[in-house]
């Protein structure tokens, strides 16, 4: 399994569930953390702290919302070549696993980046896409 590097990011379907777990329950500290959860099995996909706004020039619309305990989360509506629209957020990191398919460079929503579908590490259902800069995608295709 390839690990995401700093320049990689994950585009996650915003229809995921969100759960707030008090860290006080786990650590005794007063802070709390929200998590993005797989809508299919409830597995922890990413911490709210990994949400990172990456704007796509292909976005049909966008707005900022408070989600996963984070203010100003960019929620974008994107359309694939089949005409299917998705509301998505971006994150750097998480447990999403890039599929075994090769990096795709056509129909990318982020110029200069290749993409592949990513799946939940527990139930293997697609939960989004991972994007990698073109310069490093080819080298990482050997993973």
Residues forming the site for Zn ion (CB under 5 A)? 38, 40-41, 43, 120, 122-123
Nearer to Zn ion, 54 or 117 (CB): 117
Q: Provide, rounded to whole angstroms, the least separation between the CB of residue 133 and Zn ion.
A: 27
Q: Where are the alpha helices (DSSP H) in the chain?
A: 23-27, 134-140
The minimum distance between CB 119 and Zn ion, in angstroms, equals: 8
- Cβ closest to Zn ion, residue 88 vs residue 137: 88
CA distances from 87 to 3, 74, 75, 125, 137 (A): 25, 10, 6, 17, 25
48 versus 114: smaller Cβ distance to Zn ion: 48
CB of 98 to Zn ion, least distance (A): 15
Q: Name the β-bridge partners of 21.
A: 33
Where is 35: in which H helix or E strand? strand 32-37
């Amino acid at each position: 399994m390839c690990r995401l590097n700093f320049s990689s990011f994950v585009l996650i379907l915003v229809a995921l569930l969100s759960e707030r777990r008090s860290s006080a329950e786990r650590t005794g500290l007063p802070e709390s953390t929200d998590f993005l959860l797989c809508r299919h099995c409830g597995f922890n996909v990413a911490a709210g702290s990994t949400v990172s706004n990456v704007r796509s020039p292909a976005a049909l619309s966008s707005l900022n919302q408070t989600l996963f305990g984070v203010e100003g989360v960019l929620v974008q509506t994107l359309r694939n070549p089949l005409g299917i629209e998705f509301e998505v957020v971006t994150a750097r990191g998480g447990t999403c696993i890039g599929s075994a398919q090769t990096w795709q460079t056509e129909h990318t929503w982020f110029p200069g980046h290749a993409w592949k579908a990513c799946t939940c590490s527990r139930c293997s259902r697609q939960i989004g896409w991972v994007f990698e800069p073109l310069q490093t995608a080819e080298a990482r295709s050997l993973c």
